[in-house]
Amino acid sequence: MKMDSPASILGLIDIQPTFMPNGELPVAGGDTIVPAVNRLLARCGHAFATQDWHPPGHSSFATTHPGKQAYDTIQMPYGTGVLWPDHAIAGTPNAAIHPAIDQRRIEVIVRKGFRPELDSYSAFFENDRTTPTGLEGWLRQRDISHLFLCGLATDFCVAWSALDAVGAGFAVTIVQDACKGIGLPDGDGQTTLDTARRRLTEAGVAFVNSDDV
């Protein structure tokens, strides 16, 4: 299905300065995806965006847990969680959608992670895997069946969003040159990017470049 089909939508996942060079949780090269994302926006029929939107002292921040460092893991009530540097503080300029993004095609913005006790990667669910964001219902009411995803980071919020979308019955395509990943060590010489790519491929997610859609 083409990206400009009435049943397709482009999803911009967490394209925020907080995840770019000089941000609080930088993804290497995160700012370089902006031109590709704007090209996609110019060609899509519909678009949505997500924002990480955390209160100060969020439970996913390493600073909230004395003695812990960024990228340590801890047990949350809903499972193992990664602790992050303080980032995407609600209402700050670095939590906004990147100012160079052309937002005229964006029809809805989903803010996630605003509950102090819950981290949130996916555009569809908080990390307890039961609290919905409402995006699925919004898409279904508009008869959307195919999601094209871009943004930050490939191995976390983009991957979790894609897997949840497939689980909900949507077709999913990741525009890989309009994404950047973190690539944390994930055991046996693998990184979180390796693991995410394997899981996404096994789930039936397609990968394309921006020139191909």
Which residues are marked as active site? 14, 112, 157
- Distance (Å, whole) CA 2 – CA 148: 9
User: 């913005």: which residue's tokens?
Assistant: 109
**Closest residue by Cα to residue 131 from 110, 157, 112, 155:** 112
- Chain-centroid distance, C-alpha 81: 16
Spatial distance between the Cα atoms of 201 and 173, rounded to a whole number of angstroms: 10
List beta partners, residue 179.
151
